[in-house]
Homo-oligomer: A and B are copies of this chain.
Amino acid sequence: MLRLIRQSVTKRYIQQWEKHLKGFSTVAQAEPQKPDIKTSVPGPKTTALLKELSSLQQAGSVQLFADYDKCIGNYFVDADGNTFLDSFTQISSVPVGYNHPALLAAFEDKHSLRALVNRPALGVFPAVDWPQKLRSVLMSVAPRGLDAVSTMMCGSCSNENAYKNVFMWYRLKERGGKLDFTPEEMASCMVNQPPGSPNLSILSFKGSFHGRTFGALSTTRSKPIHKLDCPSFDWPVAPFPRYKYPLNQFKSENHAEDNKCLEQVADAIEKYKTKGRPVAGVIVEPIQSEGGDYEASPYFFQELQKLCQNSGAALIIDEVQTGCGPTGKMWCYEHFELPAPPDVLTFSKKMLTGGFYFKLAERPSHPYRVFNTWMGDPGKLILLEKVLQVIKNENLLALVNETGKVLKDGLHKLESEFPQVIDSVRGRGTFLAFNATDTKCRDKIVADLKTNGVLGGACGETSVRLRPALVFAPKHAAIYLDILRKTLREI
C-alpha cells in the first residue's frame, strides 16, 4: 500500500517536472531511461586502467574511469560502457549534470575563450571586465550582508585564506585599528615566532571537514586517515550535535544536545584564551558532510553566532559542500535565519571556483596579504555564470525541493521497511543521508548500489550520503529508491 502511494506521488512529480523541463534543457531528453550495467564492476577495462594509473601515483582511491564523452545529465558512463545513475556527482561537485549544453557552449564566444586561455594573475592584472564579472556572477548570489568576495582555487585554499583574513582582522582589532606593525612583529614573524606569528587559533567541530592543507587540516576532525603523520596546530575542538531520529520524536533530547555542545564551545574558547591561544574564528559546516552528514538546528547556529559575537571571534560558515543549491536554498545557512550575517562564507565544488564572501570592512589592511599568483580562475567564473543562469532558467532550487521531498519520503519508507538495516534518514533538499547498522553494512550498501547501477557516496562511520546534481528530478529519485530497495532486500 505504502509503495503504491509512493509510486503515485512520484509519478505526479515526474509528470510535473517533465512538463517544466520542456523547452529548457536538452539534457533530460538525451539521458538514458535507466542505469545499464554490462560487466562486473569494476570491469576489465577499468581494472587495466587502474593498474596503469597505479604505476604513476597512489591510486587506491580511484573507483571508476569515466567516459566523459558519453556521460549525460545524471548518468555516468564508465570505461567498460556501464551506465550509472549518479547520486554522488564527483564528491558533490557537478552542479547541473554532465555535458550540460549551456556549459559546452560557454567558450564558443571568443572573448570567453581568451579569458580562459590567458589566465591572469588576478591580484595584479585582472581583465577589464573582471570587476563587473565578480559583481554580476558572484555578488548576484552573495549571502545577505556580505559585500566582498575573493576568488580562490579550491575549498582548502578558500578556507586557508578565510582563516588568514580572520587572523589579520583579529590582530587589527587587538592593535586598536593601528595599521603599522612593530619592528618586533616584523622580525619575529620571519622566524615563525610570536608576536609576528601569533598563537591564535580557529575552533572547529568534532566530525568536521574543512580541507587537507595544513591550516585547513588543523581544523578538519573527520577521520584519522585524513590527519595522521601531518604536523598540526594546537587549535581547539568542540562537539557538534549528534541527534536522535526521527527529530520530532526526540525534540527535548536534541535540544539538550544543542545546549551541551554550545557549553563546550564556550568552554573551549575560554580554555584556549587562558592557554594563550585565543580563538580568532570558529568554522562550521551547516551540515557536517564528510564527517557523517550531521545536521544541527537553527537554534544551535543562532546561539553559536552569539557565542562568537560575545568572544570577539569571527563566525566562518563553510559551504564548500552545502553551497550552490543542494539543500533547496542557494546557501544552506539561510535555513537558520541568523539575526546577523556570518563574518565569512567559503565555497567551492558546485560553485566551480573556490572563494569566500566576507565583509569589506573586515578585509586585510594591506595588499599582498591574502594573495597568490592566480587568485582563482576566470575560466571557472565563465562556467559558473552559465550554471547560475541554468539554475534560474530551469528553476532548479524548486526542483531540488520537489525531488528532495520524493527522496526523503522514499527513504523514510525504506527505513520502515528495513529497520534492521538503515535508519536516521536526514537532511535538507536532496542533500540527504541515512545510516546503516555498521561500517561493514554501509560499505556493502554502497558497493551493491554500484553493482546495481547507482553511484553513491559514503561518509562518517556508517552513513550513505546523497549528493546528486541539481537536475536530479523526481524520476531519478524513483529510480534511485527502486534500486536502493532492491539493494537492501538483497543484504
Enumerate chain A interface residues (CB-CB to B < 8 A). Answer: 45, 49, 52-53, 55-69, 71, 76, 79, 90-91, 93-94, 98-100, 103-104, 106-107, 110-111, 113-121, 123-128, 130-132, 134-135, 139, 147-150, 153-157, 160-161, 163-164, 167-168, 170-171, 181, 185-187, 189-193, 196-201, 206, 211-216, 218, 221, 224-235, 237, 348-349, 352, 360, 363-364, 366-374, 379, 383
Contact between chains at A91 and B190 (CB < 8 Å):
no
This chain: copies in complex: 2
* CB <8 Å contact, B372 and A211: yes
Measured CA separation A61–B367 after assembly (Å): 5
Given contacts A197-B230, A224-B185, contact A58 B363 (CB under 8 A): yes
Query: Within the assembled complex, what's the spacing in Å between the Cα atoms of A352 and B171?
Result: 35
Across the two chains, which residue of chain B brings its CB closest to A202?
A: B231
Asked whether, in the complex, the Cβ of A65 is within 8 Å of the Cβ of B130, the reply is: yes
Contacts of A369 in B (CB 8 A): 58, 225-226, 228-229
Q: Quick one: given A64-B125, A224-B181, A373-B154, are A229 and B198 in contact (CB under 8 Å)?
A: yes
Find out whether the CB atom of A139 lies under 8 angstroms from the CB atom of B200.
no
CA distance A157 to B374 in the complex (A): 12
Which chain B residues border A107 with CB–CB below 8 Å? 107, 113, 116
Are B93's CB and A373's CB within 8 A?
A: yes
Q: Which of B104, B199, B379 contacts A231 (CB 8 A)?
A: B199
B65, B134, B368, B374: which contacts A56 (Cβ < 8 A)? B134
A-B contact pairs, 16 of them (CB 8 A): A56-B135, A57-B134, A57-B148, A58-B369, A65-B128, A68-B128, A90-B121, A98-B118, A100-B117, A155-B373, A161-B213, A189-B232, A190-B206, A190-B237, A193-B234, A214-B218
Cβ 8 A contact of A213, one of B104, B196, B214: B214
Interface residues of chain A: helix, strand, loop or mixed (majority): loop
Report whether B368 and A61 are in contact in the complex, using a CB–CB cutoff of 8 Å.
Answer: yes
CB-nearest residue of chain B to A352: B119
Q: Inside 8 A of A121's CB, which chain B residues have their CB?
A: 90-91, 93
Tell me whether B373 and A228 are in contact (CB under 8 A). Answer: no
Asked if B56 contacts A367 (CB within 8 A), the reply is no
Contact between chains at B149 and A57 (CB < 8 Å): yes
A196 to chain B, nearest CB (A): 6
